Amino acid sequence: MPIRGGGHMTWAGDSNIGEGVTIDISLVNQVEYSSETKVASIGAGALWRDVYSALEPFGTTAPGGRTSTVGVAGFLTGGGNNFLSADVGLGCDNVVNFEVVLASGETVNANRETHSDLHKALKGGSSNFGIVTFYPLNTTEQHIAAYVKWVGNIPNYTKGSAVTFCAYTPTAGTVVSAALHDTSDSEWAPAYKDFQTIGPQIANTLRHDKRGGNVIGTEREAEDAILFQMQHMVRSASAEKEARKQLVAMRQEMKDFYISEGVNVEWEYLGYADGLQDPLSTYGQENIQFLKEVATKYDPHQVFQKRVPGRFKISKVDLI
């Protein structure tokens, strides 16, 4: 009996089931904003377009999905890489409180003061502990956005974020494009003055933010890294199977290459991961042990490990 939030993920088995019952929480989509606390209380079934539309009249926004049809629930419990990450941190690190329905039927509030272990575990730990129904989330001022092919000094310029797309189409061949989101007050920031003299980038660079307190484990990586996502679009189920096979081979080829260059960043972003990957196993042994302990504490009968399929289960990750 999987739990479906926004339903944005496309691979079979992610919060869906072929034969069985799916609990759809998409109607729990209200968004309430407090001008006093600058916190938005967001229903787990909301899409980010609902959130942005509700916050726009207040001149504020939230560290949410880059695509409007992404669901709030999976995004925030999976980490929450966003256009504001370099400035305010990952989406999960801005969640003030998780309202969670446990397997026992009890509803608890997980925050820094109450059930703090569950609060931390839900920031990247996905659907292993309960059904989150509401996400009170810190917001930030909304600024002018500009989209250009972006180059510049990413580590020192925290107001900008870029997403670069590389695609192959039968008609156009290989196409590379980049989308920039800028959150500073300047329409044209100084960071972009060298744009015409420097070649295009191929991915989005993330900097580990000071707002930690999650279980994702990026602090274990000694250097900055590239967050790289591969996708495919096909017209038939048979073509989809072959395309997935090619993507898996390409990913392994890339991994073999950077290992041969003396680099081995094992971390994988759960929000972009496919069912063939195992992102929880890349969080580090300490975080894996912590997630297992929290899952056992709040779900001793393993309902969310065995009875609720979908996403990635901490019980399937082995400790070394």
Domain boundaries of the chain, sorted by first residue? 3-142+277-307, 160-272
In the chain, % helix, strand, coil (3-state, to 5) comes to: 30, 20, 50
Mapped onto helix, strand or coil, the DSSP state of residue 99 is strand
Closest CA to 121 of 149, 147, 100: 100
As a whole number of angstroms, the distance between CA 239 and CA 256 comes to 26
Answer whether residue 151 shows pLDDT above 90. no
| Confidence (pLDDT) at 195 | 39
Nearest 10 degrees: CA dihedral of 167, 168, 171, 177?
A: 20
If you compute the radius of gyration of the chain from its CA atoms, what whole number of angstroms results? 20
Structure tokens at 249: 């081979």
As a whole number of angstroms, the distance between CA 158 and CA 171 comes to 37
Question: Which amino acid is it at 66?
Answer: R
User: Residue 148: is it exposed, middle or buried by C-beta count within 10 angstroms (0-12/13-18/19+)?
Assistant: middle
User: Residue 114: is it exposed, middle or buried by C-beta count within 10 angstroms (0-12/13-18/19+)?
Assistant: exposed
Q: Range with the lowest mean pLDDT among 136-150, 267-281, 291-305?
A: 136-150
Closest CA to 76 of 59, 51, 103: 51
| Confidence (pLDDT) at 273 | 87
Mapped onto helix, strand or coil, the DSSP state of residue 205 is strand
pLDDT digits (tens, 9 = 90+) for 41-60: 999 999 999 999 999 999 89
CB atoms closer than 10 angstroms to residue 113: 9
Share of the chain above pLDDT 90, in %: 46
- Per DSSP, the residues of 172-197 read TEEEEEEEEEE-SS-SS-GGGTTGGG
Which of the residue ranges 7-21, 181-195, 241-255, 281-295 has the most confident prediction, judged by mean pLDDT? 281-295
Answer whether residue 101 shows pLDDT above 90. yes
Question: Which amino acid is it at 69?
Answer: T
Angle at CA of residue 217, ends 214 and 222, nearest 5°: 135
| Confidence (pLDDT) at 223 | 74
Residue range 121-131: mean pLDDT, rounded? 95
Structure tokens at 170: 């039968």
The structural architecture, per CATH, of the domain 3-142+277-307 is 2-Layer Sandwich (3.30)
Phi, psi of 73 (to 5 degrees): -60, -55
As a whole number of angstroms, the distance between CA 171 and CA 269 comes to 32
Task: Give the distance from CA 12 to its chain's centroid.
Answer: 18
As a whole number of angstroms, the distance between CA 307 and CA 130 comes to 12
Q: Under a CB-based contact definition with an 8 Å cutoff, are residues 40 and 54 in contact?
A: yes
Mapped onto helix, strand or coil, the DSSP state of residue 120 is helix
pLDDT digits (tens, 9 = 90+) for 246-277: 988 998 998 899 889 888 888 999 988 888 88
pLDDT digits (tens, 9 = 90+) for 186-243: 544 555 444 333 344 333 444 334 444 899 998 887 777 788 888 888 888 888 888 8
As a whole number of angstroms, the distance between CA 316 and CA 48 comes to 30
pTM: 0.77
Closest CA to 132 of 164, 162, 109: 109
